[in-house]
Structure 1
């Protein structure tokens, strides 16, 4: 495990339980980053364009509007943003219908958190239709709330998704642990003031103050999550604000 904080014996970690654990979805809990890239390659292929691997690191973990807008710009595809977003979501959902593989350790971690009464939120830049489909595989009973990219005005890398999740759970962001796999998601969680546990999927994310990097969710348990609350905050400063948005239950 690579960490920016001193090593701790996580089997006997001191400190209180997290008020909540806020989890990203694609690439963190479910192995769908390849699904998104394959959908993008398929759609742009039908439009007469070939996507190169160099673009993948740019679009991974980002909201649909940013990723789609970037790909239109670099390819010059003759399609509008809304129409492209619809095609990408349709291609992605077709892949979900074939089955959604969970990341190693995801089910065990969710079960452990539930057993200890630690509330969890699913915090994703994916659209609500995608989240609701994937929840069938993850188990909606594991999540006290979910935040989708099209539920709020500003999604990742803005802090709003994580601030919204903490607000809905009645928790302080600094007493929650966010679990992410991309630099975009990490930026969102850190801007919200959450300690962040990073489990990189497609692109590497370096360790930094207030941020811990592990190789897999199989390395993660409740003791480790408790220990992260002892680390100094990632970005001290004024607390960001977010306008409450009504919750959509899973």
Structure 2
């Protein structure tokens, strides 16, 4: 979701970096690529470790979410091609699940921009025991859609999500936002979602 369908990675980084700066523990921009797309638990642990900020993981995680919700209160920018792809998938009757490492309250806020009607099922990072890069959230989504993972295409923007989709046995279409993603077996990389439609995704399913 973040960085894939909506352009929110800048908001996440602003929330994380400004909070630490306000505490007198600023971090360098080089940390951004390390934490992008990661589950909150890993992001929090890493940033607390490198910054030395005197917060518990729970306190910092809650503060990040609060700041992020404030930042996206007026809506979020949709990434190029995202709305057109969702509309095309709906027109062809293709079921879609939204899988995110973000917490439920964040997903529900973003869905006000994306439109919840586009998704048959949504998975939040705080609703699964193991989130990305583990395969669990994508396996859950495939099961809820009644689809074999090998017949699903995962669209991701960051290495953590790509590894999750790969581990689940899905085909992966990567549209990198901050961190680079390398193409590989059953993994295709494109600059944006512009020009991506149902026909293209079905074509990916035929690739070995």
TM-score normalized by the length of structure 1: 0.82
Alignment pair present for 1:126 and 2:129:
no
Q: Deviations over 1:143-166 (max 9, x none)?
A: 000000001000000000100000
Residue number in structure 2 paired with 1:113: 89
- The equivalences for 1:171-210 within 5 A come to 171-210=147-186
Note if contact 2:76-2:110 (Cα within 8 Å) is conserved in structure 1: yes
CA deviation map 1:53-104 (0-9, x unaligned): 1100110000001001100001111100000000000000001102211001
In 2: Cα distance, 1:169 partner to 1:220 partner: 21
Larger Cα Rg: Structure 1 or Structure 2? 1
Report what 1:59 is aligned to. 35
The question of 1:101 aligning with 2:84 is answered no
Of Structure 1 and Structure 2, which has the larger fraction of its residues in helix? 2
- RMSD of equivalent CA atoms: 0.6
Tell me the alpha carbon deviations over residues 181-229 of structure 1, each in whole angstroms, 9 at most, x when there is no partner.
0000000000000000000000110111110001110031111101111
SS in 2 for 1:196: strand
How do 1:1-250 and structure 2 match up within 5 A? Answer: 25-232=1-208
Q: Distance in 2 between matches of 1:179 and 1:218?
A: 13
Deviation, 1:47, is 1.3
Q: Distance in 2 between matches of 1:100 and 1:75?
A: 28
Distance of 1:185 and 1:230 partners within structure 2: 22
Q: String of CA shifts for 1:84-132, please: whole Å, max 9, x gaps.
A: 0000000000011022110011110000000110000000000000000
**Unmatched segments (≥5 aa) in structure 1:** 1-24, 233-250
Deviation >6 Å, runs of 4+: none
Instruction: Count residues with an aligned counterpart.
Output: 208
What is the TM-score of this pair, normalised by structure 2? 0.99
CA contact (8 A) 2:75 2:110 kept: no
Aligned partners of 2:185 and 2:135: how far apart in 1? Answer: 18
| Alignment partners' CA distance in 1, 2:5 and 2:157 | 9
Does the CA-based 8 Å contact 2:89-2:198 persist in structure 1? yes
Counterpart Cα distance in 1 of 2:205 and 2:30 = 36
Return the alpha-carbon distance in structure 2 between the equivalents of residues 99 and 117 of structure 1. 27
Distance in 2, matches of 1:91 and 1:70, equals: 18
